[in-house]
Amino acid sequence: MLLSFFITKTMFYANIYPMSKIQDNKMEEIISLCKRRGFIFQGSEIYGGLSGFFDYGPLGVELKKNIENIWWEMFVTKRDDIFGLDATQIMHPKTFEASGHAKNFADPMVEDIKTKKKYRADQLLEDLGEDVSSMSPQDMDSFIKEKGIKSPDGNELGRVTKFNMMFSTIVGASGDEDSRTYFRPETAQGIFTNYKNVLDSLHPKIPFGIAQIGKSFRNEVAPRDFIFRIREFTQMEIEFFIKKEDWKDHFENFRKSTWDFIEAVGINKEIVSEFDVPAEDRAHYSEKTIDFEFEYPFGKKELFGLAYRTDLSYFDQQTGERFIPHVIEPSLGLERTVLAVLTSAYHEDEMNGEKIVFLKLPKEIAPYQFAVSPLLKNKPELVALAREIYENLKSKGVRVIFDDNGNIGKRYRRQDEIGTPSCITVDFDSLEDQTVTLRDRDTGEQKRVKIEDL
């Protein structure tokens, strides 16, 4: 703790938050806001931080849950052909052999011979402006040698090797290698292994889907860009089982509904685009993939993926038929959504020479929908009425915060900064006529509203 006192802001971000090229200071401002106001903290921060792991604070967890709820409502609750699931994160090792991840889930890695620092070879080359989309690890190796490319510290680079990104662990007390297995690298594995259970218990007819929100783990070689590339993250995934001949229609439907979700959570659509991933860059199982890309402050990067995963062999014991459903997979990373939402919502303005910050979050996902304040903290009758309104809203399931710190201007600034759309202020008139001031975050407009109409 004491040490951090001596670390400058720039050093802090450079060391704890490795970034691509920061193009402006928006990313630093967002990271700083997230920490200051309790959205997101570096994981294990008091012990110096663990790279690639982040914790959600009290406001972050509300934001995250609201986003998850919108997704769940849109794709599970409101549909009758997609069913929910919550499978375990550690699974039988045969799962990963069957899915191909034991063999194929690897990134090209290269080491600085002097410092021993490891880099993703593709990212290193991309940062130098090279197009790596059609390069294999061997191609990258030859390219680095031919061009004499050095590490970011100016040293010689070693050979490009493949690094499997799954986290492993040993299950049980024996400690022997036969008990070694993995944390799932995508939630999809839990869905595929429960396909038959869902089929046997609910008897859905094709086409139908299974949806899951859960943690995934990837031992990324170079985690970076705040919560963009991390090692433990949450995915919102659907496997939608279809007949082969219908894949294009279903793919198109999910493409459209992904745009609906983007709009519903308040991501700026103007800076989202689709990228048709070329064959050599697609996952080993996919025949068509679209990446939805977002213009983050550190560049245009993948937000979500939509993949046609082709087939899944399934033997129906009752009919004796081997049926092969094909699969469409919309796969959304929650943290990348949170970051795109924050980037879209973040606005700065100036008031009396002072910078003020707004998070223009949609009311459906803002951590609090309302803040309730008494005009003066030391007038018990104002505090009592404000408390009553607060309790009443809370009991109705509204996300509301009671704020009586500082003067009213400061409270508005504080609520603007965490994205609270409306502030309710109780003043002396409220005691007479049972009305309050309702102030809008985005327009600053204030109007009198009857308490009973709130």
- What residues make contact with ligand ATP under the rule CB under 6 A? 186, 218, 220, 229-230, 233, 235, 302, 304-305, 331-333, 335-336
| Pairing of β 370-374 and β 422-426 | parallel
CB of 403 to ligand ATP, least distance (A): 33
Q: Which residue is nearest to ligand ATP (CB)?
A: 333
- State which residue, 264 or 454, has the beta carbon closest to ligand ATP: 264
> With contact defined as beta carbons under 8 Å apart, do 343 and 301 qualify?
no
> With contact defined as beta carbons under 8 Å apart, do 306 and 328 qualify?
yes
CB of 205 to ligand ATP, least distance (A): 28
- State which residue, 236 or 436, has the beta carbon closest to ligand ATP: 236
Interatomic CA distance for residues 44 and 387, integer angstroms: 36
Interatomic CA distance for residues 186 and 191, integer angstroms: 10
Interatomic CA distance for residues 379 and 387, integer angstroms: 12
> With contact defined as beta carbons under 8 Å apart, do 403 and 412 qualify?
no
- State which residue, 143 or 167, has the beta carbon closest to ligand ATP: 167
> With contact defined as beta carbons under 8 Å apart, do 370 and 387 qualify?
no
CB of 229 to ligand ATP, least distance (A): 5
- State which residue, 68 or 220, has the beta carbon closest to ligand ATP: 220
CB of 158 to ligand ATP, least distance (A): 22
CB of 234 to ligand ATP, least distance (A): 8
Interatomic CA distance for residues 389 and 411, integer angstroms: 17
CB of 233 to ligand ATP, least distance (A): 4
For 149-287, list the strands marked E by DSSP: 161-164, 168-170, 180-183, 208-217, 232-242, 272-276
Residue 146, SS3 per DSSP: helix
- State which residue, 290 or 408, has the beta carbon closest to ligand ATP: 290
- State which residue, 21 or 322, has the beta carbon closest to ligand ATP: 21
